[in-house]
Chains A and B, each alone.
Chain A
Amino acid sequence: MSVSQTNTDVVDVLVIGAGPSGAVVAQHMATNGFSVTCLEQSRWFNNSEFPGDKVDWELLSQQQWHHEPNIRGFDTDYPTATGDSDVHPVMIGGVGGSTLFYGGHWHRFLPSDFRMHSLDGIAEDWPISYKDLAPFYDKVDRAIGVAGVEGDPMYPPFEVPMPPHPIGKVGRIAARGMNKLGWHWWPSANAIASQRHGELAQCVRWGTCETGCPQGAKASFDITHWPSAIKNGARLLTNSRVHKITVDAQGRADGALYFDARGVEHHQKARFVVLAANGIGTPRLLKLSAHPGAPDGLANSSGLVGKRLMLHPNAEVTGVYDEPLESWLGPAGQAIHSLEFYETDLSRGFAGGAKWQVMPTGGPLRALSLYDRDDFDTQWGPSIHRRMDETFGRSLQWGINSQDLPEETNTVTLDADLVDSNGIPAPRIHYRLSDNTRALLRYNVDRAVEAHQAAGAVATMPTDLWPDQPGHLLGTAKMGDDAATSVVDRWNISHDVPNLAIVDGSVMPTSGAVNPTSTITALALRAAENLVATAKNRKVAQ
């Protein structure tokens, strides 16, 4: 091995990726006395950088702060080859990872999400149940100060630690329609501080959560977990891009090779490696880490690394109402949600379901974009002023987050040509919507139109598929009890490499249809607590 610089310190735990799950593991391990180093390819972001409190925020969000890395073009992100994909994955590298840009929609999985095969004969059951994960959901909820209302009938009972945000005029109008139809809705839980909480400021409703919170009120994990992790001794190296997990003579992970900001290569040695790069970065790195004993990629004896990619394809229906709704007002965030069509009902002609959420619709340019598919004279010229009068501040969106089933044909591989700013092969995404997903989306779009009509909408504008939403990157390193049919065990430990844990969204056997960060971080905390409890008996690199 030829590297420019080797750090001679061998740390107990090397965490790769400073996103939410890496933050949770680093904080827990450091707090319990382990030496922890985290390598993060990108940097810290300061709240003041984000565009949401700037007068030109909508224009800045179109490119410079776009959620798609290929459009944003930061050197600190890796590009993705998406020519074979119906959906373009969105994400951002940085301390806090994609929680910098998420909407903070905070949902735990439903009990049925862990038992899809048992209940419906489809896909696989998880090796763990809702009950196994519930205590960790509770702990993470308290740590980040989830705001909401207890008692949602579509969930088992659980505590919500912070008071809710207002659901606003948009939430009340949408709820009116749902009540008329007798459909489920509930004031949504958000990982956004309704009051000061720890390092989090109180939300001031900029309404721009998905381009970063200028206030520091959204529970991105650079705010909620990293300060505490560092205070407890964790070392976080930014601008440090890992391109290979290294192994010892026994095939155990013993560290990682990475490039620093100057392009100098280093080798960080470790006794235990935790991979937290999410559903695209993780399979990319495992494939980059192939070695003679694992020619198809590290931890890949099952052949499933990079397969079963699930992205939760999104649709939406915007409704226009004949009354002012202040529909630029945050948080965004979700006002209310519905799980009416969440649980599988095979009589609908498809498996799986969807979670809906009401969100505000933003500023003037967003209102104008609702007419992008109309002709020139409908959108521009003298008509523009009538369009704005009719639409701006008078619309709300039912977003539809759909469940997609795990399919081995939806993959993350290494692209033969595209590379990142360090010359490392970029991930190639091959993702096609199945007939099941298309039927699911079509059904839910039709129902969302009905929901708007029941609420009194004067017009509805459906988007059948949002090609660049959401940032839910799941399934490419499946969890399971059988090493032949899964990548990690029920404690997130690689079946092949006993001192390698994978703690991100890639481990999910099925995707559910709710936003996954709650489940990802609960799984990560569960894995970290298990590592602490079993550390003495664990096989590590020598």
Chain B
Amino acid sequence: MSSIGAKLDAPTILDSARIETAWTIADVLVPETDDRPSLKTADPEARWLAVAFAARRDSEHELAVLLDILRGREQSEVEAMLRSLRVEKRYLFDTISSVIAGAYYMTPQVRALIGYPGQEQRPAPLELAADELSDEIFEGAMAYGGAFRAPSDFVV
């Protein structure tokens, strides 16, 4: 598992009410389906949600205001407001949607479902590059008939 870059020791804007609101937003943007969990299911302790919000501390005031506006509303109402936000305040929509989706795709359960190992060190074996260039694909590059243009004063 990679380390976390965001500073988690600073106070977070997330309290229990805002977490519930964030989960409702997630139910609109990245909902549970037959083959995918909800964010609340994948991240029941809101650990990854906290990481995602901390990574965008630059916008925490705007995000806190938005969460408070959406607080306690029905999912259908939240969805309508998010659709309007996407049209009227695209920057804020992009920020909240990337934080929610960012949290969702950081959860180990979802990563396993989409086949994403996350950030990991994978130094290439020395022979891999040569192996990749040892078949007919590279022969196509070597058979290329074009060349650079040589100016009249060009000499090798």
Contact = CB atoms under 8 A, between A and B. Distances in A.
Interface of A: 51-60, 62-64, 73, 110-112, 114-115, 118-119, 129-131, 149, 151, 153-157, 163-168, 171-172, 175-176, 178-179, 182, 184-187, 194-195, 202-206, 208, 215, 324, 328-329, 339-340, 343, 363-365, 368, 372, 376, 380-382, 384-385, 388-389, 392-393
Interface residues of B, number: 63
A154 B146 contact: yes
Given A149-B133, A364-B114, A53 B29 contact: no
A164 B131 CA distance: 11
B137 A380 contact: no
A130 B94 CA distance: 46
Contact of A340 (B3, B86, B142, B146): B146
Interface string B89-100: 000001001110
Contacts of B36: 385
A489 B147 CA distance: 31
A157 B5 CA distance: 44
A56 B144 contact: no
A380 B86 CA distance: 11
A53 B152 contact: no
8 contacts: A54-B5, A112-B151, A115-B151, A149-B133, A156-B154, A163-B130, A204-B121, A392-B114
Given A111-B151, A130-B154, A157-B156, A184 B98 contact: no
B32 to A, nearest CB: 9
Contacts of B6: 54, 56, 59-60
Given A172-B132, A384-B30, A388-B114, A156 B156 contact: yes
A179 B135 CA distance: 13
Interface in B128-152: 128-130, 132-133, 137-138, 140-142, 144-152
B149 A343 contact: yes
B96 to A, nearest CB: 11
A163 B129 contact: yes
B141 A328 contact: no
Given A368-B101, A393-B116, 15 more contacts: A53-B3, A53-B121, A54-B119, A55-B51, A55-B119, A56-B106, A60-B5, A60-B6, A157-B156, A165-B124, A182-B145, A184-B146, A187-B129, A205-B123, A329-B122
Interface stretch (B13-21, B53-61, B65-73): B53-61
Contacts of B153: 115, 129
B31 A381 contact: yes
8 A-B pairs with least C-beta separation:
A179-B140, A54-B5, A59-B55, A115-B151, A364-B105, A204-B121, A55-B2, A112-B149
Contacts of B4: 54-56
B108 to A, nearest CB: 10
How would you classify the secondary structure of chain A's contact residues: helix, strand, loop or mixed? loop
Contact of A111 (B122, B123, B149): B149
A307 B35 CA distance: 57
Contacts, number: 195
B52 interface: yes
A388 B114 CA distance: 8
A54 B106 CA distance: 11
A53 B120 CA distance: 7
A131 B28 contact: no
Contacts of A73: 58
B42 to A, nearest CB: 13
B146 A393 contact: no
Nearest to A151: B142
B123 A59 contact: no
A114 B153 CA distance: 11
Nearest to A384: B30
A163 B1 CA distance: 30
Contacts of B121: 53, 204-206, 215
Contact of B33 (A54, A130, A164, A385): A385
B56 A392 contact: no
Given A51-B5, A376-B86, A119 B151 contact: yes
A118 B31 contact: no
Given A63-B56, A63-B59, A388-B114, A56 B102 contact: yes
Contacts of A51: 5
Nearest to B108: A55
Contacts of A172: 132, 137
A391 to B, nearest CB: 10
B133 A381 contact: no
B133 A131 contact: no
A110 B138 CA distance: 22
Contacts of B119: 52-55, 57, 206, 208
B116 A58 contact: no
B154 A54 contact: no
Nearest to B2: A55
Contacts of A206: 119, 121
A73 B4 CA distance: 22
Contacts of A112: 148-151
A85 to B, nearest CB: 19
B92 to A, nearest CB: 13
A328 B120 CA distance: 10
A184 B144 contact: yes
A166 B147 contact: no
